[in-house]
Amino acid sequence: MNKTRRIHFMKMHGVGNDYIFVDTALYPIDNPRDIAIAWSRQHMGIGSDGLVLIGRPTTGEADFSMRIFNADGSEGMMCGNASRCIGKYVYENGLTDKKQLRLKTASGIKILDLVVDELGLVETVTVDMLAPVLNDERQFLAQGEPLPDGVFVSMGNPHYVIFVDDVEDIDIAYRGARLERHSRFPERCNIEFAQVTGEGIRMRVWERGSGITMACGTGACATAVAAALTGRSGRRSRVIMDGGSLDIEWREANDHVYLTGPATLVYEGDITLQE
């Protein structure tokens, strides 16, 4: 006989990049891949870009941990938007009083700096995304079928940034889906289409494992790095996506990329899980 239990979840987003968050210290999840697929479905689930599990590391190397599963069930390496949401959740729910947190991810320890208002609410979070990797032979093959002109940047996960004249005129669904699985990307790839404007860098994204999303934190970082590398911008950029804007700084002193933006709680609730 199947057992059921209630799981409490939070629906949160960073500039439109929305995820379902579960605190696994309270609600363990044994089959996150299947749950990510089921819960992420629009109309038949909660609806999201994926599932994020908040954990407690067993060593002192980090304060909290994050595992992220895309809407197709594949496990992601890193998500800047989800990281900021975790910072907001753990602080506002009294799980920590620290305003600087160490978050363990599949791509290393990330430092989160929280800006908190007088009411104790987290206004913005800055994530130290560490240094970009420009030549990652594991995630990008130098030889293979031709690619459209672009810049490969790894921010703990692979990105290919293509600069275009009019980003609004790009068929993201068609081009993104095909480039994600291009033969040059053995681990698949996030695809960004970007256009430099007077207001900043306008970017639209096809996320590996999720498809079109309203924003991508690591994608914004990769786009800002690609723009600086190609002389299209300086080391500080505002990246404007369908869901909002993020501020990116690629510091020359340590080569680290810093991502700053808000995090928003949409709602929270309970869902029945059959086991």
Q: Which residues are catalytic?
A: 79, 216
E strand or H helix that includes residue 258? strand 257-261
Cα gap 80→212, rounded to integer Å: 16
> 12 exposed, middle or buried (CB, 10 Å; 0-12, 13-18, 19+)?
buried
E strand or H helix that includes residue 69? strand 64-70
Cβ(16)–Cβ(243) below 8 Å: yes
Interior angle at CA 81, CA 263 and CA 151, nearest 5? 145
**CA proximity to 80, closest of 271, 223, 218, 214:** 218
